[in-house]
Structure 1
Amino acid sequence: MTTALATTGDKTPPAGADLLRIVGINEEIKAVVTVAFKINIMALNAIFLAKRAGAAARGFGVLSNELRVFSQDLRDCMAALNGLIYGCVGEVSRMLQDIRQTRLLRQAAEMSPGAQLGAVLAARQVKNDRHAESLTRQRKQLKRVLDDAFRLVELGGVLAKSAKIEAAYGQSFAVPLAQVSGEFDGIVEEIRTSLESLRRSPFFTGK
């Protein structure tokens, strides 16, 4: 009997490659969370600086607060991604276990041609198909949340660039405000680059 599981042979199964890709995605998510936390600290410092600057930096203060909110929203989004990643890891791990067990059954069938293992192999194929369907659903959900995160970061980029404009009106505080807004812009761009890299992962593209 020929099944998707029974023909894996000694080659590395696709599920094994997916597991490595998921681990890479998870590491990238952790890096984004770390950077998002830095934005929160920077925003708090920027708000304090804007208060010192007074009315001239009121707009900058508002934008800094929005960047702080953006930081929290981004961390929440990354937490959702992290939860989905763990779900994918569990599904892939179960698929790999099924593949290993089916390989052993196939070998047993080859050694004992008279053994009635066809029904068992067929049942395992059905089980694996269910795992594959579940992983496909989780993969699509993960991609949707990742796209949401990317749109959120684009909004963060707009806020950071607006803060740079507002910094110019900070009078005697214009220089330090410009420095802070420049750091905002750089960090948001760093996050955007990371998310772009995640969206190009073979786990989503299938390449």
Structure 2
Amino acid sequence: MSAALLPAVAAKPSGAAADLLRIVTINEQIKRVVGVSFKINIMALNAIFLAKRAGTAALGFGVLSNELRVFSRDLRNCMEALTGLIHDCVNEVSISLRNGRQDRLLAEVGQAGAAAALLGRVLQQRAAERDGHVRRLAALRRQLKRALDDAFQMVELGGVLAKSAKIEAAYGQSFAPSLAQVSGEFDGIVEEIRGSLEALRRSPFFAAH
């Protein structure tokens, strides 16, 4: 292999730097969803207490509040799993970036000396390794997208629970205004999470993959 061909082996663009920025953005959004899920848990505990005070008139509201508490726990667990996938993606992209820099340096060295043939073989081997990282990242990308889709479906269910709580609040007699306020807050927060996850599903990180 001639020295002139060495850069072609090392210069295959991967968009790794852009991917890294997109992954960081996704991770920040996931952190925000986790924070909001903690808020739902606290609100649900307060709602359960309020439903107990309201007595039999708010039994349905109490049941739904407990379900929303379970939802917040399941959502946190789901987000933790997503965070694990994000870390794996960051690792693969970081390796690709580091290897790309090293390959460019090797190619530049090869142009200057008689070791071009040897370096060419080294770069070919590294190119095969790079392709392996690309395949692993593609698999992680698909896993992350599926996990986001699952989380979105979970939040859709959370939205149904929140809207059902709004209906049940109307039967709370003298506690109805307080129950309605709490259920409205539930609904607003779940919609906020839904919007965040919908935006993540449209991330350029998943485009054309």
Paired residue for 2:128?
126
**Following the alignment from structure 2 to structure 1, what is the Cα–Cα distance between the partners of residues 7 and 89?**
23
Cα deviation for residue 206 of structure 1 reads 4.0
| 1:5–1:189 distance in 2 versus 1, CA, 3 Å | farther
Matching residue's letter, 1:168 = A
Paired residue for 1:48?
49
1:58 aligned onto 2:62: no
Cα deviation for residue 111 of structure 1 reads 1.8
Paired residue for 1:15?
16
Cα deviation for residue 76 of structure 1 reads 0.2
RMSD: 1.6
The TM-score normalised by the length of structure 2 is: 0.93
Paired residue for 2:105?
104
State the percentage of identical aligned residues.
Answer: 68
Cα deviation for residue 124 of structure 1 reads 0.6
**After superposition, what is the alpha-carbon deviation per residue over 1:118-172, rounded to whole angstroms, capped at 9, x for unaligned?**
1111001000000000000111111111111000000000000000000000000
CA contact (8 A) 1:157 1:188 kept: yes
**Following the alignment from structure 1 to structure 2, what is the Cα–Cα distance between the partners of residues 102 and 196?**
38
Paired residue for 2:180?
178
Cα deviation for residue 110 of structure 1 reads 1.8
- Give the match's secondary structure for 2:116: coil
Cα deviation for residue 5 of structure 1 reads 5.6
Matching residue's letter, 1:119 = R
**Following the alignment from structure 1 to structure 2, what is the Cα–Cα distance between the partners of residues 5 and 38?**
51
Cα deviation for residue 97 of structure 1 reads 1.0
Aligned length: 204
Moved more, 103-112 or 143-152: 103-112
| 1:38–1:94 distance in 2 versus 1, CA, 3 Å | same
Paired residue for 1:6?
10
Paired residue for 2:86?
85
- Give the match's secondary structure for 1:169: coil
| 1:5–1:114 distance in 2 versus 1, CA, 3 Å | closer
CA contact (8 A) 1:91 1:131 kept: yes
1:136 aligned onto 2:132: no
Moved more, 97-106 or 37-46: 97-106
Cα deviation for residue 68 of structure 1 reads 0.1
The TM-score normalised by the length of structure 1 is: 0.94
**Following the alignment from structure 1 to structure 2, what is the Cα–Cα distance between the partners of residues 3 and 142?**
33
Cα deviation for residue 6 of structure 1 reads 1.8
**Following the alignment from structure 1 to structure 2, what is the Cα–Cα distance between the partners of residues 4 and 126?**
14
**Following the alignment from structure 1 to structure 2, what is the Cα–Cα distance between the partners of residues 143 and 89?**
15
Matching residue's letter, 1:158 = V
Cα deviation for residue 196 of structure 1 reads 0.6
